[in-house]
Structure 1
Amino acid sequence: MPRFAANLSLLYNEHPFLDRFAAAAADGFTGVEFLFPYAFAVKELAARLQTHGLQQVLLNAPPGDWDAGERGIAALPGREAEFQAGFARALEYAHALDCPRIHVLAGVLPPGADPAACHETYLRNLQWAGAQAASAGRAVLVEPINTRDFPGYLLQTQAQAHAIVQAVGAPNLQVQFDLYHCQIMEGDVATKIREYLPTGRVGHFQIAGVPGRHEPDVGELNYPYLLDVIDEVSAACGWDGWVGCEYRPRRGVVPGATREGLGWLQRRSG
């Protein structure tokens, strides 16, 4: 059965961020991920992981000016120095938290941007990041993201992401396969799991219900079946990664909202 990690940026929002580690552990999670840890002292985060017996499985590199609508800068020409400084900071956090994976957001293309120049910038930045991460024993992940949530996002499909990984050629560059984004942009999710997981290029999965990005037992995706597919293909190819639970509880930010929505996980585990 896949190992499930709680995404603490979206789950347990009824608690202050630093209290979400305890809440996740109390509900049986052994792994956690989150988006951007940089507002918190790394020693504090490491202490929470240790206290609650949790493994940090994924974090994101700095995305640029998130509040201004930026969703990554790796593909933005002229921002290379900022990207490198941000990635170096991500490596510091990954080292201190013993986190093996860093997701690099590609970015939303600004109006009038040259797509070819952005593509080349993205490749160069990933080559640099891959080399830096390899020296530190970390993997770099890229993720196709749907353009309904992130209009204009550079990387949109599994085929694009895998082509990028192949073009860069770094052994520690992998794809973050989010079933929610894949369903919105492409569909045919089970076939894509069967196609791409055996390649060795998938480093991490994430799940959420479609279309509302709530619990995976709500919406149009048949997650019991899809998780069985991941189980089956993983057993055949030796994949032993994590599945991140990156969804918003349907009950919102109210006490117990996350725990009450974990029936799908209890059924899976039981």
Structure 2
Amino acid sequence: MPRFAANLSMMYTEHDFPDRFAAASADGFEAVEYLFPYAYDATGLRRRLDDHGLRQVLFNAPPGAWDSGERGLAALPGREAELRSGTDRALEYAAALGCPRVHVMAGLVRPDATPAELAEHRDTYLANLAWAAERAAGVGVDILIEPINGRDMPGYFLNRQAEAHAVVQDVGAANLKVQLDLYHCQIVEGDLTTTLRRDLPTGRVGHLQVAGVPDRHEPDRGELNIRHLFGVIDDLGFDGWIGCEYRPRAGTSEGLDWLRNQR
């Protein structure tokens, strides 16, 4: 059966962030993910994980000035020093939390960027990811990249699965992998069953995420047939985690019938 990780940035927001670990554990989750850990001391976060028998399976590297609208740095020429500093900080947290993967966000590009400018963005992206993957390999961490839909995040550099897999292949690092979010993929290109059957066997997918489409509520709300999709994932032998990156319609625990039914 697929293994599910609660996303504590979106789920259990009825609790203060430090209390979400206990709430997720009480509902039977064995793992968690979230956007960023940096507002909290790593030792304290590790204590929360250990106290509640949880594993940390994913978080993001620093994305630049998030509150000002930045969404990553890896594809932005001229921000290399900040990207490297942020990656090192993320890897320090990964070591403290026992987290095996870190998502490095690409960043936003102007809608009127010329082909030459887009090529420069991609060259910067490849170089930064190669550096980050080499750095992360030394401490046993995978670097992930994620295609994100342009409705939720206009201007994000990476939108489609084929683009992400081409980047991974071009960089050629064994620990650089794709984060396949079924919510984003359905909005951008659909055809999820074929995508899963095509991409999971390659070994280039390091993490999955799920949410209902189109409103990003519970995954059984909306147009996805999650029982079918989870069956496909199971049949393909994916042994990683599926992050539950959705906004509950009401209380988080009250909306977990989909998970109880899956179990």
Question: Which TM-score tier does this pair reach, normalised by the shorter chain?
Answer: over 0.9
TM-score by length of 1: 0.95
| 1:103 and 2:103 are equivalent in the alignment | yes
| Equivalent pairs, count | 260
1:254 match: none
Q: CA deviation at 1:111?
A: 5.8
Picking from 240, 257, 261, the partner of 1:263 is: 257
The answer to whether residue 247 in structure 2 is matched with residue 244 in structure 1 is no
Q: Report SS of the residue matched to 1:206.
A: strand
For residue 197 of structure 1, what is the aligned residue in structure 2?
200
Determine which of 130, 133, 139 is the counterpart of 1:130.
133
- 2:174 maps to 171
Q: For residue 20 of structure 1, what is the aligned residue in structure 2?
A: 20
Contact 2:177–2:205 (8 Å) recurs in 1 = yes
Superposed displacement of residue 68, structure 1: 1.2
Name the amino acid aligned to 1:153.
Y
Please name the residue that 1:73 is paired with: 73
Structure 1 counterpart of 2:186: 183
Overall identity of the aligned pairs, in %: 64
Q: Is the 2:72–2:105 contact (alpha carbons within 8 Å) kept by the matching residues of 1?
A: yes
**Aligned alpha-carbon RMSD (Å):** 0.8
Amino acid aligned to 1:172: N
Query: Secondary structure in 2 aligned to 1:141?
Result: strand
Indicate the residue corresponding to 2:233 in structure 1.
230
Q: Which amino acid aligns with 2:252?
A: T
Any conservation in 1 of the 2:165–2:178 contact (CA below 8 Å)?
yes
CA drift of 1:69 comes to 1.1
Q: Could you tell me how far apart the structure 1 residues matched to 2:92 and 2:189 are?
A: 35
Moved over 4 A (4+): none
Distance in 1 between residues matched to 2:259 and 2:253, nearest whole Å: 10
Alignment of 1:85-124 (within 5 A): 85-110=85-110, 113=113, 114-124=117-127
Paired letter, 1:46? R
Alpha-carbon deviation of 1:110? 3.6
1:67 Cα deviation from its structure 2 partner: 1.3
Give, in whole Å, the separation in 2 of the partners of 1:20 and 1:131.
Answer: 33
Determine whether 1:220 maps to 2:223: yes
Q: Give 5+ residue unaligned stretches, structure 2.
A: none
